[in-house]
Structure 1
């Protein structure tokens, strides 16, 4: 389906109207804002060639293009991540307050859930994201992933079962997460080791992503005492001034870490029962370009 050149105006308007939605779809499938932006560029190039008079549902068609481009990129990224140095964490996004207020959206882009999505196959991830997050019909998903609706239903069931077994047991409110994070920050800044042990769950898992560029643990650090020992050891060697400041990343409370005023990384958490069960520290500078200005996300 080809468009005439005089259709550029309407095509552009429709693309812009759905841009935040398309970015969110791509980001949830890829976990990378940079790759999601590339997917949007590829989506626009294909959309600009479409004869709009032949398209019944513009939103669905745009989501279909975005999904296909994301799947292509995700398969390439899977191979690339096999060679990644140390743990791979999603690229953090500074998000607006309205994202945090939308509980479902905030959970869907949380570091904890995004890491669970990493354990799915590319097709499972696409189906799960479209069905569970964006409530896309099975028929529309089937057209996007080149499967039959019956096959998509099976994939969706398998992916949902896989995610449910690994996702946080319950959704923690932003206020609860913020309170836990404030306790962590206070204990960290005052050097209160017992305070740190109290706010960390006994089997807390710390994952740090330096991408081979910044120093980071090559494997997850498990256990409150080990995590505290690592923090104390690392900060004790610093010659720079370290500061922590609250922020909102991926719709959830987080901390921006600075050394002598320069951003060193983002620390996000997973909290349960008023304790931190997961700490995610992104130090890779290639993943910190979206934390100084807000990234708009959307379900619709």
Structure 2
């Protein structure tokens, strides 16, 4: 059991008014280890969430399409944290459409987005969403225009249903397009110590004070986090490869927010403890920084 809390990884002022710890939590694995299943016992997800908040995690990333069968991440969050969620920022994503049987069926149109936001409000049991990302494309930006869809979210923000807006899975042109419509508080893209193609967009976020929130911070199961440099640093610090990967995300830029997900209390505690690692210049060189 860790004695460290998420505060050890430092803070970030999201959108200029929401102070959160940079080490947060991704809710996808609460429902199942992958979007395909098999499902977890919902009680396990509730226990993980409650322990996360005990450990100072106050930024939880979720999505309406994080569901399997009769279990939905939003409803686990509501069950675990309400009515005692003071200070916990909930971020959600809209865009991908998913049927009840789990089949993805493309992207929501501008006209469909309001319904997705209203469903998130209902399932989370809140009157306003802290942060809503427009999630575009699949895994990797598709280059499509986001202006019309982002404008819908901007209207909902003006109506008081959303506090801050973000974009996910976008390229530089899409980010610029969204920013021409309304302020962008956060970008959520594919990025980790062994997948760094997004460095230029990260640099733009840093210049603009926009939070950069990597999805698949530990590879997402598709990239083993076992490069020689990562292993060498882990050995020096007597830490796990996952912990070094998270520490690197926090070290690579002051605007990165880590959101590792898990369905295990033990893994959660290991991830939170990663915020206490301090990488020196030699470590960063081994990790390609």
Quickly name the TM-score band, shorter chain normalised. under 0.3
Higher helix share: 1
Q: TM-score, normalised by structure 2?
A: 0.28
Higher relative contact order (CA 8 A, sep 6+): 1
